[in-house]
Structure 1
Amino acid sequence: MDTKRLDLNLLATLEALLDEQNVTRAAARLHMSQPAVSAQLSRLRDLFDDPLLIPAHRGMIPTAKALELRSPLRLALDQVRDTLTTHQHFDPGQTSLTITLACTDYVQAAVGLPVINTLRRQAPGIRIGLRHLEPARLEAQMVRGEVDLAFMTPEEAPPTLRHRHLYNETYVLVGRPDHPRLFDGMTIGDYVQLEHVIVSLSGGHFSTPVDQALKVLGYSRNVVLSAASFLLIPGIVTQSDLVALVPQRLVRDRRDLKVVASPIESAGFSVGMVWNERNHAHPAQRWVRETIGQALQDVPVGLD
């Protein structure tokens, strides 16, 4: 390739075309006319000696060469963008930033609103997209720019991603307010005599790390129901004699539940922010992380 013919604008056009797979949408994204983008696509085909995008029934599909170029192209352009923006002043009051956050339903329910309110209060023009956390796909999603920041247990994050601890969460035991066998000061022996509902995010499992911890102590509990989300638990236990261990922040304001300390002292987990190196030095992304960190400082949440 003759690098003297290389034009960064062409590479930005290629990035948009690979993302949108449609000349019209790419033109709108780049604030260019459709004929201008088509002309640049012609130059790109000549430059790489490859069709790059082939017309299909709807839009266009990338060639093998285009797919090969996608990741290194995005990385190179992100490095250029970061270089240009690192020393720029960021004013949250004037930003029109769009940020995508990935998290579980628990995080959305427990801390999502304080995070959103804090960001919106300081940056009224910000747009926030929430999407479900997919740990197995997270690294690729961040490389493609589909997710800017994720909330999860840092130890479970891909090792190539950066992370920052936010807070420690504790499990509490919940049941209906008049549950006859749910009381403060329960022992593990009392606990395992109850019927339990657990949460299996992957679906249908009846064992969790709590069961492994109980096994070490010589106990086992009777798990009769496996739910797909922590958000389902309050409705289940208020209408039955079932009990459940749930994150404390999820139920701290519930008055329709009886909440007691977990008899298993080690029950809990940590929550942190996870992000890709591509966003690390970006002033706006850095401001978002710092603002969220301040909003979610690890303040103890005690039982009433």
Structure 2
Amino acid sequence: MRFNKLDLNLLVVLNALLTERSISRAAEKIHLSQPATSNALSRLRAYFEDELLVASGRQLLLTPRALGLIEPVREILMRIDSTIATQPEFDPTTEQRDFTLLASDFTTTVLIPPLLASLYRDAPGIRIHLRSQTARPDEMLEQGKADFLVIPSQYLAKGHPSAALFEDEYVCVTWEGNSRVRECMSFDDYLACGHVVANFSGEQQASTFDGWFIGSFDVKRRIEVSAPTMAALPALVVGTDRIATVQRRVAKQAQAYLPIRLWEPPLKIPRLVQMLQWHKYRNNDAAVLWLRQRLIDTASRI
């Protein structure tokens, strides 16, 4: 099909090329051969009268014209998918469909297991693919790489609908044998003890919590251990005088099998408000609406 002399099938190839910036990766993504993808790129170059992707050493760089096409092309394909390709009705008992959720290990620990049990019973053909949090979750949503974000309220992507899932509060966790914190935890204890923290980026940088902590109290915690997962923190204080500050649900689960104690923080920490977000063009997708409600219902019971 052509529109203004452009074969509209080429838009799918163009989107893959602009996203992957590699002919081989784009070909794999859209299930074309490399020669077919190269041929499509040649036709796109002729239509736009621009190279679009140019070689620079061993990588391909986007031309200014190509950079300007990223958002319009992505938006066109998202609109087509949400208004034409999507089925108007959804039957969870028979539907075969994949959904990708971007979720932290905290969410994966407390929300996803009951969700999967519910889907296994009521929607056996629904397949869930979990992806870890990234530095730019909004890009995952915009690029269609995630159907849902399960994310703290402060990280919501602008311009897309969202709904509240659940809230949680923070508690402090210590080993039962902690030699400093015995009867209660004071603010001086909190500062004097070493801390075990989550660092999801893998880089030596302050977390959002530490940024808030420094801004509120003008002091730093002494971080002695960092890990790429929140759920592991309670286990990492065992046998030490260190403290972990984690969500209460994580701490309660860990307390069932670890020799740890839970303490009310000696400082007022804002509650975590966990949100669900989806792309604005998926707002009328019956399957997205159904899974959204199932996530909300599941969150209300945890």
Aligned to 1:131: 131
Aligned to 2:156: 157
Aligned to 1:302: none
Moved more, 161-170 or 89-98: 89-98
Aligned to 1:48: 48
Among the aligned pairs, what percent are the same residue? 26
Counterpart Cα distance in 2 of 1:238 and 1:79: 52
Residues 1:92 and 2:92 are matched in the alignment:
yes
Q: TM-score, normalised by structure 2?
A: 0.76
**Aligned partner of 2:197: which letter?**
V
Q: How many angstroms does 1:62 deviate by? A: 5.0
Counterpart Cα distance in 2 of 1:174 and 1:152: 23
Is the contact made by 1:154 and 1:163 (CA closer than 8 Å) also made in structure 2? no
Aligned to 2:259: 257
**Aligned partner of 1:74: which letter?**
R
**Alignment partner of 2:193 out of 188, 192, 195:** 195
Moved more, 43-52 or 33-42: 33-42
Higher Rg of the two aligned structures: 1
Is the contact made by 1:93 and 1:123 (CA closer than 8 Å) also made in structure 2? yes
Counterpart Cα distance in 2 of 1:208 and 1:44: 46
Q: 1:180 to 1:87 in 2, by over 3 A?
A: same
Q: CA RMSD in A?
A: 3.8
Is the contact made by 1:194 and 1:243 (CA closer than 8 Å) also made in structure 2? no
Q: 1:199 to 1:193 in 2, by over 3 A?
A: closer
Is the contact made by 1:167 and 1:298 (CA closer than 8 Å) also made in structure 2? no
Q: 1:242 to 1:34 in 2, by over 3 A?
A: closer
Counterpart Cα distance in 2 of 1:205 and 1:9: 45
Counterpart Cα distance in 2 of 1:56 and 1:204: 31
Is the contact made by 1:52 and 1:62 (CA closer than 8 Å) also made in structure 2? yes
Q: How many angstroms does 1:39 deviate by? A: 5.8
Counterpart Cα distance in 1 of 2:14 and 2:220: 57
Is the contact made by 1:10 and 1:44 (CA closer than 8 Å) also made in structure 2? yes
Describe how 1:1-304 pairs up with structure 2 within 5 A: 3-19=3-19, 21-22=22-23, 26=27, 29=30, 40-53=40-53, 63-85=63-85, 88-135=88-135, 137-179=136-178, 182=181, 186=184, 188=186, 191-192=189-190, 195-199=193-197, 201=199, 203=204, 205=206, 207=210, 209-210=212-213, 215=217, 223=222, 225-228=224-227, 229-254=229-254, 255-264=257-266, 266-267=268-269, 268-297=271-300
Q: Aligned pairs, how many?
A: 291
Q: 1:6 to 1:195 in 2, by over 3 A?
A: same
**Aligned partner of 2:293: which letter?**
E
Q: 1:94 to 1:19 in 2, by over 3 A?
A: farther
Counterpart Cα distance in 2 of 1:10 and 1:113: 40
Counterpart Cα distance in 2 of 1:142 and 1:148: 7
Q: 1:205 to 1:64 in 2, by over 3 A?
A: closer
Is the contact made by 1:174 and 1:257 (CA closer than 8 Å) also made in structure 2? no
CA displacement 1:243-295 (0-9 Å, x = unmatched)? 33221111223331333341447433111112332333322222222211111
Gap runs ≥5 in structure 2: none
Counterpart Cα distance in 2 of 1:97 and 1:247: 32
